[in-house]
Protein backbone atom coordinates (compact mmCIF):
# COMPACT_ATOMS: atom_id res chain seq x y z
CA UNK A 1 0.00 0.00 0.00
CA UNK A 2 1.42 3.33 -1.04
CA UNK A 3 0.82 6.37 1.12
CA UNK A 4 -0.09 9.61 -0.54
CA UNK A 5 1.66 12.82 0.42
CA UNK A 6 -1.33 13.92 2.49
CA UNK A 7 -1.66 10.62 4.36
CA UNK A 8 2.07 10.40 5.05
CA UNK A 9 1.96 13.92 6.50
CA UNK A 10 -0.95 12.87 8.70
CA UNK A 11 1.03 9.86 9.90
CA UNK A 12 4.03 12.09 10.69
CA UNK A 13 1.85 14.56 12.62
CA UNK A 14 0.16 11.75 14.54
CA UNK A 15 3.52 10.17 15.41
CA UNK A 16 4.86 13.57 16.50
CA UNK A 17 1.79 14.14 18.67
CA UNK A 18 2.13 10.76 20.33
CA UNK A 19 5.85 11.35 20.93
CA UNK A 20 5.12 14.79 22.38
CA UNK A 21 2.49 13.41 24.75
CA UNK A 22 4.93 10.69 25.85
CA UNK A 23 7.63 13.30 26.52
CA UNK A 24 5.20 15.37 28.58
CA UNK A 25 4.14 12.28 30.55
CA UNK A 26 7.73 11.28 31.25
CA UNK A 27 8.68 14.86 32.16
CA UNK A 28 5.89 15.21 34.69
CA UNK A 29 6.67 11.81 36.18
CA UNK A 30 10.44 12.18 36.47
CA UNK A 31 10.58 15.83 37.52
CA UNK A 32 7.74 15.70 40.04
CA UNK A 33 6.20 18.85 38.55
CA UNK A 34 2.58 19.00 37.45
CA UNK A 35 1.69 19.85 33.86
CA UNK A 36 0.47 23.29 35.01
CA UNK A 37 3.84 23.99 36.61
CA UNK A 38 5.63 23.02 33.41
CA UNK A 39 3.31 24.80 30.95
CA UNK A 40 4.45 28.24 32.20
CA UNK A 41 7.59 27.72 30.12
CA UNK A 42 5.58 27.62 26.88
CA UNK A 43 6.01 31.39 26.39
CA UNK A 44 9.81 31.36 26.62
CA UNK A 45 9.86 28.26 24.41
CA UNK A 46 7.78 30.03 21.79
CA UNK A 47 10.07 33.08 21.74
CA UNK A 48 13.23 30.98 21.72
CA UNK A 49 11.96 28.82 18.84
CA UNK A 50 11.00 31.87 16.76
CA UNK A 51 14.47 33.32 17.42
CA UNK A 52 16.12 30.07 16.37
CA UNK A 53 13.96 29.98 13.22
CA UNK A 54 14.99 33.52 12.36
CA UNK A 55 18.65 32.69 12.99
CA UNK A 56 18.32 29.65 10.70
CA UNK A 57 17.36 32.04 7.90
CA UNK A 58 19.99 34.68 8.61
CA UNK A 59 21.84 33.86 5.38
CA UNK A 60 18.64 33.95 3.32
CA UNK A 61 16.27 36.41 5.01
CA UNK A 62 13.91 36.47 2.02
CA UNK A 63 13.11 32.79 2.65
CA UNK A 64 11.90 33.46 6.21
CA UNK A 65 8.21 34.16 6.71
CA UNK A 66 5.81 34.52 9.57
CA UNK A 67 4.48 31.08 8.65
CA UNK A 68 7.91 29.73 9.58
CA UNK A 69 7.65 31.65 12.85
CA UNK A 70 4.21 30.20 13.55
CA UNK A 71 5.41 26.65 12.97
CA UNK A 72 8.55 27.17 15.04
CA UNK A 73 6.58 28.86 17.81
CA UNK A 74 4.10 26.00 18.01
CA UNK A 75 6.89 23.43 18.21
CA UNK A 76 8.77 25.52 20.78
CA UNK A 77 5.70 26.11 22.95
CA UNK A 78 4.86 22.40 22.94
CA UNK A 79 8.36 20.92 23.14
CA UNK A 80 10.33 23.35 25.31
CA UNK A 81 8.46 22.99 28.64
CA UNK A 82 9.23 19.27 29.09
CA UNK A 83 12.88 19.96 28.29
CA UNK A 84 12.89 22.63 31.00
CA UNK A 85 11.40 20.13 33.45
CA UNK A 86 14.13 17.63 32.62
CA UNK A 87 16.78 20.34 32.92
CA UNK A 88 15.51 21.66 36.24
CA UNK A 89 15.22 18.17 37.71
CA UNK A 90 18.71 17.26 36.48
CA UNK A 91 20.23 20.59 37.48
CA UNK A 92 18.74 20.37 40.97
CA UNK A 93 20.60 17.14 41.55
CA UNK A 94 23.90 18.86 40.77
CA UNK A 95 23.72 22.33 42.26
CA UNK A 96 20.98 24.89 42.82
CA UNK A 97 23.01 27.57 41.00
CA UNK A 98 23.33 25.30 38.00
CA UNK A 99 19.71 25.92 37.00
CA UNK A 100 20.31 29.55 36.00
CA UNK A 101 23.43 28.61 34.04
CA UNK A 102 21.43 25.89 32.29
CA UNK A 103 18.83 28.43 31.13
CA UNK A 104 21.45 30.91 29.91
CA UNK A 105 23.55 28.31 28.08
CA UNK A 106 20.41 26.70 26.65
CA UNK A 107 19.31 30.01 25.12
CA UNK A 108 22.71 30.63 23.56
CA UNK A 109 22.79 27.04 22.31
CA UNK A 110 19.41 27.46 20.59
CA UNK A 111 20.57 30.63 18.81
CA UNK A 112 23.87 29.02 17.79
CA UNK A 113 22.02 25.94 16.51
CA UNK A 114 19.79 28.20 14.39
CA UNK A 115 22.84 29.97 12.96
CA UNK A 116 24.57 26.66 12.18
CA UNK A 117 21.40 25.34 10.53
CA UNK A 118 21.25 28.48 8.38
CA UNK A 119 24.90 28.02 7.40
CA UNK A 120 24.29 24.45 6.32
CA UNK A 121 21.26 25.59 4.32
CA UNK A 122 23.36 28.21 2.56
CA UNK A 123 26.03 25.62 1.71
CA UNK A 124 23.36 23.21 0.43
CA UNK A 125 21.83 25.88 -1.83
CA UNK A 126 25.25 26.85 -3.21
CA UNK A 127 26.14 23.21 -3.89
CA UNK A 128 22.85 22.60 -5.70
CA UNK A 129 23.35 25.72 -7.80
CA UNK A 130 26.89 24.61 -8.71
CA UNK A 131 25.66 21.13 -9.65
CA UNK A 132 22.87 22.60 -11.76
CA UNK A 133 25.32 24.93 -13.46
CA UNK A 134 27.60 21.99 -14.23
CA UNK A 135 24.64 20.23 -15.87
CA UNK A 136 23.81 23.36 -17.85
CA UNK A 137 20.63 24.19 -15.95
CA UNK A 138 20.20 27.73 -14.75
CA UNK A 139 18.70 28.26 -11.30
CA UNK A 140 17.73 31.67 -10.04
CA UNK A 141 17.76 32.51 -6.37
CA UNK A 142 15.25 35.07 -5.24
CA UNK A 143 16.61 37.50 -2.66
Per-residue pLDDT at 1 exceeds 60: no
Is residue 89 within 8 Å of residue 83, measured between CB atoms?
A: no
Confidence at 19, pLDDT banded by 50, 70, 90:
very high
Q: Structure pTM? A: 0.64
Helices (H), the chain: 5-31, 35-39, 42-56, 66-94, 98-135
State the average pLDDT for the chain.
83
As a whole number of angstroms, the distance between CA 65 and CA 89 comes to 36
As a whole number of angstroms, the distance between CA 58 and CA 119 comes to 8
Of 136 and 19, the structure prediction assigns the larger pLDDT to: 19
Query: What pLDDT, in 10s, does the model give residues 99-133?
Result: 777 778 877 888 888 888 888 888 888 888 888 88
Domain residue ranges of the chain, discontinuous segments joined by +: 5-135
As a whole number of angstroms, the distance between CA 114 and CA 109 comes to 9
Amino acid sequence: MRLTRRSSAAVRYAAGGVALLAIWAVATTLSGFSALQIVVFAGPGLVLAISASWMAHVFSPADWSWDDALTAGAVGAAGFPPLVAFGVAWGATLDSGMTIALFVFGSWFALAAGLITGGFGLLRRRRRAAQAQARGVRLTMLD
